[in-house]
Amino acid sequence: MKRLAIVASMAALAACGPEQPPNANAQLTHIVFVTDWKAQAEHGGFYEALAEGLYKKHGLDVTIMQGGPGVNVPQLLAGGAATFGIGSNGFIPLNMVEQNVRIKAVMAVFQKDPQVLMTHPRADVKGLADMKGKPIMIADASISAFWPWLRAKYGFEDSQIRKYTFNLAPFLTDPDAIQEGYLTSEPYTVEKQAGFKPQVYLLADNGYPGYANMVLAPVDWIARRPDAVQAFVDASIEGWMDYLYGDPKPANALIERDNPDMTDDTIAQARAKMKSYGLVMGGDAARLGLGAMTDARWRTFYDTMADEGLYRDTMDYKQAFDTRFVDKKVGLEKMKP
């Protein structure tokens, strides 16, 4: 699954790629920003910053490169085909540390990882603990991602695992089915296709500690061009505030241009959920500003996964992130529930 895919075979790409060539306008620093999937509301703030000229205002000429099924963001960054990119979840920066790939997270748009488990409406499941012992459909990548956390916290067992192939039909036809999903995606698709609202349990609201939708930057850029990294973060923060709490139409127009499969209703419900669930302004962002990251939160995520054997307990988790570009309470007064 694209949001949970563990970075593999990266050692050969450990050297960071070269700085992108300048645009014809020599006053602007050219940035190619690659997303983790096709254009969608979850990228809205970046598209808003582009559409409203916020990147240009900060001295950048930004091109957004749309992701998709065959796009490996860390490889593009390490190979120099893109400048910055989206890290879907906390495993990606940590895996790059493990593979000695010199790329760090510099901003976390989502304070909550949007991973969910969902069920049909049913009386016997009112929380994650009630799912113990019941079959659960998850993707292969999830087995080494959030599943170890569910085992540790709720006593789930591997015998419960059933394969999720990204086809909703098995879930829709089985009233006893439990399946993983993404808060802003699968639940709404179920509602549209089957005509009922599934019960949705956000892992983050039950203690799952990871950030998501992070901006990744090569260490080479952080060291040589911290001004450009800061400019990209600042403009993106402005874009996200405008997208969530202002007029999203400029970004939505670009999203639908890049990804014609996106519809107005799909985008609108995703944006509404990002606000109502506090994906962007909850957590550390509520006190430190949009995009916030803290060492304490990263340590919790690393310790949790290291305890489950996913990482060496001697790994330097601090190499996965750099907080110098965020945590400045920028725009905090404009952020609304």
- The residues, ordered by sequence, that sit 6+ positions from 303 with a Cβ below 8 Å of its Cβ are none
Q: In what order do the strands lie in the sheet with 103-110?
A: 60-65, 29-34, 84-89, 212-218, 103-110
| Distance separating the N- and C-terminal Cα atoms of the chain | 30
Q: Which two tokens stand for residue 308?
A: 């489950």
Q: Give the pTM.
A: 0.89
Confidence of residue 187 (pLDDT cuts 50, 70, 90): very high
Instruction: Provide mean pLDDT across the span 268-272.
Output: 98
Strand locations in 143-211 (E): 161-163, 178-182, 199-202
Note the pLDDT of residue 141.
Answer: 87
Residue 129 shares a structural domain with residue 276: no
Residue 306 shares a structural domain with residue 294: yes
**Structural domain of 232:** 11-111+210-334
Burial per residue of 78-96, b for 16 or more beta-carbon CB atoms within 10 angstroms, e otherwise: bebebbbbbbbbbbbbbbb
Residue 105 shares a structural domain with residue 214: yes
Note the pLDDT of residue 333.
Answer: 66
Instruction: Provide mean pLDDT across the span 78-92.
Output: 96
Whether pLDDT at 279 is above 60: yes
127 φ, ψ (degrees, to nearest 5): -175, 175
Residue 216 shares a structural domain with residue 318: yes
Listed residues 154, 175, 206: the one ending a domain: 206
- State the pairing for strand pair 212-218/84-89: antiparallel
> Treating both helix axes as pointing N-terminal to C-terminal, what angle do 264-276 and 186-194 enclose, rounded to 10 degrees?
130
Residue 141 shares a structural domain with residue 289: no
Confidence of residue 282 (pLDDT cuts 50, 70, 90): very high
Residue 314 lies in a domain: yes
Residue 23 shares a structural domain with residue 35: yes
Residue 39 shares a structural domain with residue 171: no
Closest CA to 237 of 262, 213, 261, 219: 213
| Residue 33 DSSP SS3 | strand
- Which tens digit of pLDDT belongs to each residue from 217-227? 999 999 999 99
Strand locations in the chain (E): 29-34, 60-65, 84-89, 103-110, 115-119, 136-138, 161-163, 178-182, 199-202, 212-218
Inter-residue contact 177 to 125 (CB < 8 Å): no
Whether pLDDT at 6 is above 50: no
Name the residue with higher pLDDT: 334 or 188: 188
Closest CA to 315 of 87, 9, 96: 96
**How far is it, in rounded angstroms, from Cα 83 to Cα 303?**
30
Confidence of residue 144 (pLDDT cuts 50, 70, 90): confident
Listed residues 146, 176, 206: the one ending a domain: 206
Strand pairing partners for 321? 105
Note the pLDDT of residue 334.
Answer: 64
Of the chain, the percentage scoring pLDDT greater than 70 comes to: 90
Residue 169 shares a structural domain with residue 318: no
**How far is it, in rounded angstroms, from Cα 108 to Cα 290?**
8
Whether pLDDT at 186 is above 90: yes
Q: Is 327 exposed, middle or buried (0-12, 13-18, 19+ CB in 10 A)?
A: middle
Whether pLDDT at 258 is above 50: yes
**How far is it, in rounded angstroms, from Cα 83 to Cα 20?**
7
Residue 214 shares a structural domain with residue 295: yes
- Which tens digit of pLDDT belongs to each residue from 51-63? 999 999 999 999 9
Residue 176: which region, alpha, beta or left (left: phi > 0; alpha: psi -120 to 50)? alpha
Residue type, 207: G
Confidence of residue 26 (pLDDT cuts 50, 70, 90): low
Any idea what the CATH number is for the domain that residue 276 is in? 3.40.190.10
Residue 168 lies in a domain: yes
Please give the DSSP secondary-structure letter assigned to residue 205: G
Confidence of residue 117 (pLDDT cuts 50, 70, 90): very high
